[in-house]
Amino acid sequence: MKTVFYTITDALGLHARPAGMLVKEASQFKSNIKLIGPAKEVDAKRIMGVMSMGVKKGDAIRLTIEGEDEAAAAEKLEQFLKENL
């Protein structure tokens, strides 16, 4: 299992556009990917779950990735978070 930690720096938090982009990125991998925020844990491949988290600027999030392509998924998703959030 791989884990990615990130603190949201985007002034708007995890809003609709980056949430959709995150789900699209996560969906490219076979691994099971969970997004864990301050208040809840959701499947990172489900847009409604990601949108329901209400993650704001300054919130710490964590991605847990488990499966056959977890190393590639962790690298790609960490890069995505740094570039978009």
Based on the residue annotation, tell me whether 15 is a catalytic residue of this protein.
yes
Spell out the residues 6+ positions from residue 24 whose beta carbon is closer than 8 angstroms to its own: none
Q: Specify whether the CB–CB gap between 65 and 77 falls below 8 A.
A: yes
Nearest to 50 by CA among 85, 83, 75: 85
Q: Which of 6, 15, 43, 76 is catalytic?
A: 15
Active site residues: 15
